[in-house]
Amino acid sequence: MKPKDARTSEAMSRVKQARTAPEDKVAEALRSLEVAYRRNVKNLPGRPDFANRARGWAIQVHGCFWHQHTCRRGTTPIHNRELWQAKFARNRERDAEVEAALVKAGLRVVTLWECETKDATQLKELIQERLRLPRGRM
């Protein structure tokens, strides 16, 4: 879906696809918890941001804007509203397809939202809880 104006097109072209700041924060938290992982695993459906097949999990780090989280950052622009709504709907559809494919591949899928990566201590606790890690690893 192509944006209708050059300004929107320019802004979208600058958005990173991988190794974003929220992903880097998750990587840092995983390292501090001494959790082994691979990043952007090419041979898994949807190239999950983090995965450990031996432990049976994958982590997807979603941007609140792009994946329409219910927090204050999950807004829809007024300019070209229909275009954005269609884009966001397709993103959510793709997220569901990727998650289903990962589950079918035998992995438990954890979704972390960009807004959940702001506080390092809280992020480590979320990862421990969602990956079901022993509490002593902090």
Provide DSSP, 62-76.
E-TTTTT-SSTT---
Report the predicted TM-score, pTM, of the whole model to 2 decimal places.
0.84
Q: Which of 117, 111, 92 is nearest to 28 (CA)?
A: 117
Q: Would you write out the chain's pLDDT as a tens digit for each of its 138 residues?
A: 555 567 656 665 556 566 799 999 999 999 999 999 999 999 999 999 999 999 999 999 999 999 999 999 999 998 889 999 999 999 999 999 999 999 999 999 999 999 999 999 999 999 999 999 887 544
b/e string for 56-94 if b means 16 or more Cβ within 10 A? Answer: ebbbbbbbbbbbbbeeeebeeeeeeeebbeebbeeeeee
